[in-house]
């Protein structure tokens, strides 16, 4: 089981990033999120979502999903984003196993239901 992101539905609001970080930190920050709204190509209006799982980095791009095994070279033409690098050091998605009242926080809080359980 994992989470599935529909990057075309995503509006780049960062709610998932905030609540994911909250589930680890108990405060408001963006430091520990393993899901990140990538937004560094602002002038090109190119955005989607990055998700770090235990061994893979999933890049949910508008044109489709890309799954990169952590440690392997990514396609140099498709540099994920400035946000990808620090994410590699963070803990992977645990499906918010400790958040009994919510289940996966990013799914609960995504305002446009762009994230679902797979």
Using CB under 6 A, list all residues that contact ligand SF4.
3, 5, 10-16, 19-20, 23, 34-35, 37, 49, 51, 93-96, 104-106, 110, 112, 114-115
| Residue (of 23, 42, 43) closest to 32 by Cα position | 23
CA-to-CA distance for 40 and 46, rounded, in angstroms?
A: 8
Q: Which is nearer to ligand SF4, 44 or 76 (CB)?
A: 44
DSSP code, position 90:
S
Enter the DSSP assignment of 79: -
Q: Is 66 in the site for another protein (CB under 8 A)?
A: no
The site for another protein (CB under 8 A) is made up of: 8, 11-15, 18-19, 22, 25-31, 39-47, 61-63, 82-83, 101-102, 108-109, 111-112
């Amino acid at each position: 089981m994992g989470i599935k992101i529909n990057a075309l539905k995503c509006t780049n609001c960062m709610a998932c990033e905030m609540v994911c970080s909250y589930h680890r930190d108990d405060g408001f920050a963006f430091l520990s999120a393993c899901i990140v709204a990538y937004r560094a190509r602002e002038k090109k209006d190119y955005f989607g979502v990055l998700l770090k799982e235990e061994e893979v980095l999933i890049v949910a791009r508008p044109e489709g999903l890309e799954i990169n095994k952590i440690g392997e070279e990514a396609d140099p033409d498709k540099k994920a984003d400035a946000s990808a690098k620090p994410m590699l050091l963070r803990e992977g998605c645990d499906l918010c196993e400790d958040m009994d009242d919510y289940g996966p926080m990013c799914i609960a809080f995504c305002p446009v239901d762009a994230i679902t359980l797979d």
